[in-house]
Structure 1
Amino acid sequence: MSFSNLVSDLAFKDARDDRSSQISHVRSQATARSHTSTAATSVSISGDISSQLHAGYSHPLSRSWQAERQLTKEMLIYPLFITDNPEEETPIPSLPNQYRRGVNRIVPFLKPLIHKGLRSVILFGVPLDPSAKDALGTAADDPSGPVIQTIRLLRSRFPQLYIVTDVCLCEYTSHGHCGILRDDGTLDNAQSVDRISDVALAYAAAGAHCVAPSDMNDGRVRAIKLKLIEAGMAHRVLLMSYSAKFSGCLYGPFRDAAGSCPSFGDRRCYQLPPGGRGLARRAIQRDIAEGADIIMVKPASSYLDIIRDAKDLATDLPVAAYQVSGEYAMIHAAAKAGVFDLKAMAFESTEGILRAGAGIVVTYFVPEFLDWLS
């Protein structure tokens, strides 16, 4: 069923006029706000956009990512869910041992992990206040929002911690999709790319070492890279692209954690179809050409062939893989049932990802690995 039919089948239809009015109003505000930054699409630089290399070795950790080796703490990135309630510390039932935390709870939580060797985190904003969500996700780059506040706090308290920020709109949009929608409910790629690249620029300006667009809109890597160049930040801000991100059921616990379930339809029109190996290869090649510094594959364990393809296509770039919430939850469930030993299964899964060609792993097992690898 098409997006437009899904839209008309739901209560979304009853508020069509109101929603159209809201989109038009907020879109006009966003267009005015980002007018200056959109000029980056016409930036003229010396050489091809993929010639921008300095961000790949401007930080000690990003330099270490350029080498191939066995599993080490430096290869791991830990996902954090940051809410707009500063004091919150709430367990996520579908994601064992993981929490949503407010900005005031982050430093006490991270301090012992950093002492054990934690080197990098990736931040996901989780606005819980319904008023924080609208048709264009305007709260995504709010200076007082959870992500930008956390970037500044971590840069101040843990100067050596490498901060990656997921860049998407799904947590901030009232409809839960990863971009801006047209009136018929389909994705407006051009508007989405413009908005998402502005958000990436805001995170970079706040102090993020790496921006990681996960929306899968066509052309967003180039738009982000050009805006970083125009702002004079491309030499120090790494761009890690979710290049081969497949649709499927393994994201369920994450969507519970982030509150990012679509209010209608699904994401199959912009995430890759399972089995779409050719599309994945094309997406990887596209993002390399548009200036990505790191290529990511997601999910990890179920797409080892794509990780291998990514390493073959991106021969001279680091490859990252995201061991997603569903994979993590299944390993925990199997260990709890006595089918596998948790440590053995976590190592086997992660080492399989590395053998396939990844050199960076985003995983919820980071706290355990900090103990296991000591």
Structure 2
Amino acid sequence: MFQRFRRTRLNKHLRALVRETQVSVDDFIYPLFVRSGEGIKTEVASMPGVYQMSIDVAVKECAELKELGIYSIILFGIPDTKDSVGSDALCEHGIIASAVKEIKKVHPDMFVVTDLCFCEYTDHGHCGIIDEERETVVNDATLELSGKQAVVHAKAGVDMIAPSGMMDGIIETLRDALDEAGYEDLPIMSYSTKFASGYYGPFRDVAESTPSFGDRSSYQMDPANRREAIAESIEDEAQGADILMVKPVLAYLDIVREIKDNTTKPLAVYNVSGEYAMLKHAGAAGLIDYDRVMMETMVAFKRAGADIIISYHAKEVAKLLKK
């Protein structure tokens, strides 16, 4: 006798009872982009609904997020002045440190994550110290500065640090620096498998971090490499990462599943700017049922193995879940 799979699909309540994958508002981290000034909220043309904000506006945004049930954010800073070493990222009065202090003062119950990198702070737009002759990032010199940046974030009161530069040895370096400074309980969410992807374009508009020369292929991962992608995350786990990540996610769901099957650590995915923009513009053009496709995409991330979703869609998802 053939199996009648439709028996459990005919009633909506039974469909809900047997549903294997659930999306919850607790799954999400919402990205915020902060800059100096007051009363600033500038929408990014390539990312409708995403803004550069001054810190005072970001504080108000956190109140709105909490009303939706979103209590986790990840901060990206846009400094007034950039230089070759990203000095603002190393300053206790820099844009990120200042934003963390103010948000935690007003919203102590907000879980604040900071992106730890140099691309937004350097005048060349790359993720660390540049070897000008080879036109690439110097790994170990960048590690030294990254450790200093981590301690600045920790002193400001951050709840978790997320290094995104894909430098070899970054997790061990940050763990040692944080432990030595007395922050042994501060978790690290590693951008452990981050691809040199074409999906990042709109992010570079909002974060003002487009490289002034070349690209990031010498330190971010080749999109064609599956085995290396798994090895990168396993290595970061060995170095002490508390949470792993795959970025981007939409074109890499196979990698998400394989890493999930090869680690005991929680796994985050970053639903990046290009993925977000494609859905937003397709929805605006009437090509898709935007809400339906957005939620289907979130389910796909969870089904593939994601425990945490970093997404610009988070507020919209939360509103739909409330309904």
| One-letter code aligned to 1:119 | Y
Question: 2:272 matched to which residue of 1?
Answer: 324
> CA deviation digits over 1:233-292, x for unaligned, max 9?
122x11000011011211010000000000001001101011111111111111011000
Q: Of the candidates 128, 134, 141, which is equivalent to residue 179 of structure 1?
A: 128
Matches within 5 A, 1:208-223: 208-223=158-173
| One-letter code aligned to 2:179 | I
User: How far apart in 1 are the matches of 2:202 and 2:60?
Assistant: 25
User: How far apart in 2 are the matches of 1:223 and 1:109?
Assistant: 33
1:251 aligns with 2:200: yes
Matches within 5 A, 1:266-277: 266-277=215-226
| One-letter code aligned to 1:123 | L
Question: 1:342 matched to which residue of 2?
Answer: 290
For the residue of structure 1 that corresponds to 2:47, the secondary structure is coil
Matches within 5 A, 1:244-323: 244-314=193-263, 316-323=264-271
How far the C-alpha of 1:336 sits from its partner, in A, is 1.5
Q: Of the candidates 210, 216, 233, which is equivalent to residue 183 of structure 2?
A: 233
> How many residues of Structure 1 are paired with residues of Structure 2 in the alignment?
302
Runs of 5+ unmatched residues, structure 1: 1-67
What's the RMSD between the two structures over aligned residues?
1.3
Question: 1:201 matched to which residue of 2?
Answer: 151
> CA deviation digits over 1:199-236, x for unaligned, max 9?
1121112111100000001001100011111112122x
User: How far apart in 2 are the matches of 1:144 and 1:87?
Assistant: 19
1:72 aligns with 2:24: yes
How far the C-alpha of 1:125 sits from its partner, in A, is 0.3
Q: What percent of counterpart residues are identical?
A: 40
1:159 aligns with 2:108: yes
Question: 1:114 matched to which residue of 2?
Answer: 66
> CA deviation digits over 1:144-174, x for unaligned, max 9?
2221111111111111110000000001111
User: How far apart in 1 are the matches of 2:256 and 2:147?
Assistant: 26
> CA deviation digits over 1:7-35, x for unaligned, max 9?
xxxxxxxxxxxxxxxxxxxxxxxxxxxxx
State TM-score, norm by structure 1: 0.79
Runs of 5+ unmatched residues, structure 2: 1-19
Query: Does structure 2 retain, via aligned residues, the 8 Å contact 1:102–1:146?
Result: no
4+ long deviations beyond 4 Å: none
| One-letter code aligned to 1:366 | A
Matches within 5 A, 1:133-172: 133-172=82-121
Question: 1:35 matched to which residue of 2?
Answer: none
Query: Does structure 1 retain, via aligned residues, the 8 Å contact 2:125–2:209?
Result: yes
Q: Which range moves more in the overlay, 181-190 or 75-84?
A: 181-190
| One-letter code aligned to 1:137 | G
How far the C-alpha of 1:353 sits from its partner, in A, is 0.7
Query: Does structure 1 retain, via aligned residues, the 8 Å contact 2:21–2:303?
Result: no
For the residue of structure 1 that corresponds to 2:261, the secondary structure is helix
1:353 aligns with 2:301: yes
User: How far apart in 1 are the matches of 2:132 and 2:270?
Assistant: 33
| One-letter code aligned to 1:221 | I
